[in-house]
Copies of this chain bind each other. A is one copy, B any other.
Amino acid sequence: MLTIGQVATYLGVTVRAIRHYHQRGLLPEPERDASGYRRYGADAVVTLVRIKAMSDAGVPLARIDELMAASPEQFATSVAAIDTDLKEQISDLKRRRRRIAELSAGDRLFLPEEVVALLDRVREIGLSQEAVRTERDTWILLVAQYPDQVPGWAAEKLAMLEDVAFQRLYLTADQAAGWSRDDPRLEALADEVNSFGGLRAPDTDGKKPILALDALVAVTIMAAQSGKPVPALERLVELCRLRAKPN
């Protein structure tokens, strides 16, 4: 008659696991000796071997007791179901691996390649690190809501950045974040923004493309909402809107 520890080392399972099986009702409690120790016979060992085999094969404990008492047909059916389950889990993990690969490939995070290219470009141009982060965060928000349109929008914006004048404008707007709310340069800047088509916030006209300095709008919105308002940019947005609707 074996003790629990002996059975465990014999079969290569832990003592805790065996007690767990008892608790789950998978393995009947054996008789106890005078001191209360569990004493196992060969039948218990056999049952345990079967449990271990199933469990190693990935059968969830809950189904093992079904299987132990199943007829050959039930057995086959259940095994097939479990196998299907495992197949699903595998393809799930594979999907995850693909996503992981995208994460590490997309240098900075879960954005479509067009956006990544755009971010690289604005960094190249000399945009401040903060502004780049804001640009990124804006795109993240956009992706969450318009995943299909985003690549197109990003490509469009990237194309606009070929224009040196637009680049200058973009950089100046970035600088403007440090200006005060009544800085006179804001007026000139607003004029320039308008010459590029003005501001268009994504929520202004639903699902239409965002162009130009929408990120600017986003900056002000996001800053305001996260508790760090940027007065100069707020004012700039105001000025641009005034020019856009002069009536």
- Give me the interface of A with B, judged by CB distance under 8 Å: 1, 10-11, 31, 41-46, 49-50, 53-54, 56-59, 72, 75-76, 79-80, 82-83, 86-87, 89-90, 93-94, 96-97, 99-104, 107, 109-110, 137, 140-141, 143-145, 218, 221-222, 225-227
Contacts and interface: CB of A to CB of B under 8 A. Distances in A.
A89 B46 CA distance: 29
A101 B83 contact: yes
A90 B94 contact: yes
Nearest to A78: B104
25 contacts: A31-B227, A42-B221, A42-B222, A43-B222, A43-B225, A46-B140, A49-B110, A49-B144, A50-B109, A50-B110, A53-B109, A53-B110, A54-B103, A56-B96, A56-B99, A57-B99, A57-B100, A57-B102, A58-B96, A79-B104, A80-B104, A83-B97, A86-B97, A89-B93, A90-B97
Contacts of A99: 53, 56-58
Contacts of A10: 144-145
B141 A49 contact: yes
Given A11-B144, A46-B140, A57-B96, A103 B79 contact: yes
A39 to B, nearest CB: 9
A54 B94 CA distance: 15
Contacts of A72: 107
